[in-house]
Amino acid sequence: MNIAVIGSGYVGLVTGVCLAHIGHTVICVDNNYEKIKRLKLGKVPIYEPGLEELLKKYLKNKRLSFSTSIVDAAKKSTAIFIAVGTPSKKNGEADLTYVENVAGDIARAMDSYKLIVEKSTVPADTGQRIKRTIAMNLPKKFRKGSEVTLDFDVASNPEFLREGCAVHDFMNPDRVVIGVESTKAERLLREIYAPLKPTMVVTDINSAELIKHASNSFLAAKISFINAIAQICDHVGADVLKVAEGMGFDKRIGRKFLDAGIGYGGSCFPKDVDAFIRLSEKSGYHFNLLKEVRSVNEDQKALFVRLIEDKLWIIKDKVIGILGVAFKPDTDDMRNAPAIGIIETLQHEGAKVKVYDPQAMPNAKKVFRDVTYCNDPYALAQGCDCLLLLTEWDEFKKLDFKKIKRVMKHAILFDGRNLYHDQSLKASGFEYYGVGRGMLERKRG
């Protein structure tokens, strides 16, 4: 099928490349000229394993192309996916400006049947608003008063991929959710995804939109739940890793997303939890459970800083080395990374911060001021009063801690992701603090 994807960020680009991979002819559009220029040369602007190889392959055989023109892409395509950003407004609500702009642009370019698919994460009822926006912006010849004479469909097809394994997730979905209002839209979407042989969940548009917000909120709740358990573990002398393991064997619970740490970050969970709380409020329901999920997540960062203060005593002039700043491993994305708040608080208290991350250094340089960037973990450790592990990159599992200890001022490690499960760090002579490992004598103020 000829498909256009509008917005070539994390989701749009992965969607476009993977749709080409399963046999479609795809035009990816973005209004960022620099980005499109680089993509045309086969250069992926983000770090996402496996993406660049596929992109180069389908650029070469011309199943994939890039453009800055929505008009051009819309005219050539039957299905048009909207994958632009839906950031938070100040009050937490989803800002749908980009979605509205793109819907209007698509409408003005339409001259035949089109299926317009929401891929971006949006609140329930957005599909209906897109439909109205398209109807209002169609070329005059297709509007007779309030009547529309051109056939089109709007559908919802939320995306569940995770950054860092986005290509794998797109190609192996647990389910493909489609919210549709016509058999034609359903047929086209089934045809698009047929090569993946997925489990299809077919619903109305509002339910599909809600599935996405409910899924992200549930996953965020699972993380906050285990983080709350971690706090109790620290106070009663239990180990959250054992608790998560014991809970996870129950198939109704499952072990995934029970990793305690410094809280969830990224471009989606914080934003989508906020948006879902606002949507609920607007609809007259006060989603206090979700508000608590958000507040446990915020506490988690503050408690981690408090632990550091407790153990180092005075933060001013202490040299603190940060292992990892991306919001999770295998990505260079730093949007809402927990590392940002933690580092800024420590700097505010006068700490001298050094940073190393395997992929996120260029993005870190846009975020932090007065930070010393190091080329590897050993240069980072040089002269440090302590190390903080904030992103659990594989590379950090294999560090030579004896070598690291030799160059540090004090061998203290705060493990914000519980990467070091065993006793090996203590054996290397480190003072070690994880999250919820039951090894603290601190009091919650």
**Cβ within 8 Å of residue 159, ≥6 positions away:** 11, 15, 83, 119, 121, 170, 212
Question: Minimum CB separation from ligand UGA for residue 340, in Å?
Answer: 12
Strands 412-415 and 431-433: parallel
CB count in 10 Å sphere of residue 102: 24
Q: Binder to ligand UGA among 16, 261, 341, 416 (CB under 6 A)?
A: 261
Q: Binder to ligand UGA among 46, 122, 268, 412 (CB under 6 A)?
A: 268
**Cβ-based nearer residue to ligand NAD, 98 or 433:** 98
Q: Residue 186 belongs to what H/E stretch?
A: helix 183-193
Establish whether 268 is a catalytic residue.
Answer: yes
Q: Binder to ligand UGA among 12, 265, 434, 436 (CB under 6 A)?
A: 265
Task: Specify the stretch interacting with ligand UGA by CB under 6 A; choose among 58-66, 174-182, 195-203, 259-267.
Answer: 259-267
Q: Binder to ligand UGA among 216, 359, 418, 428 (CB under 6 A)?
A: 216
CB count in 10 Å sphere of residue 234: 25
Q: At CA 19, angle to CA 102 and CA 194, rounded to 5?
A: 115
Strands 147-148 and 152-156: unpaired
Specify the amino acid at residue 155: A
For residues 206 and 198, is the Cβ–Cβ distance under 8 A? no
What residue number has its CB nearest to ligand UGA? 268
Counting residues that bind ligand UGA (by CB under 6 A) gives 20
For residues 122 and 31, is the Cβ–Cβ distance under 8 A? no
**Cβ-based nearer residue to ligand UGA, 131 or 278:** 278
Q: Tell me, residue by residue from 309 to 338, as one string, x for binding to ligand UGA by CB under 6 A and - for no binding.
A: ------------------xx----------
**Cβ-based nearer residue to ligand UGA, 337 or 384:** 337
9 touches, from ligand NAD, ligand UGA, none (C-beta below 5 to 8 Å by class): ligand NAD
Question: Minimum CB separation from ligand NAD for residue 317, in Å?
Answer: 38
Q: Does 213 participate in binding ligand UGA (rule CB under 6 A)?
A: no
Long-range own/partner contacts, residues 186-192 (CB < 8 A, 24 or more apart)? 188/1, 188/78, 188/79, 188/115, 188/153, 189/79, 189/115, 189/117, 189/155, 189/157, 191/1, 192/1, 192/3, 192/19, 192/24, 192/79
Q: Binder to ligand UGA among 269, 304, 356, 393 (CB under 6 A)?
A: 269
Q: Does 273 participate in binding ligand UGA (rule CB under 6 A)?
A: no
Cross-strand bridge partners of residue 4: 27, 80
Instruction: List interacting residues with ligand NAD (CB under 6 A).
Output: 6-12, 29-32, 35, 83-86, 98, 101-102, 120-121, 159, 161, 163, 267-268
List residues with catalytic annotation: 268
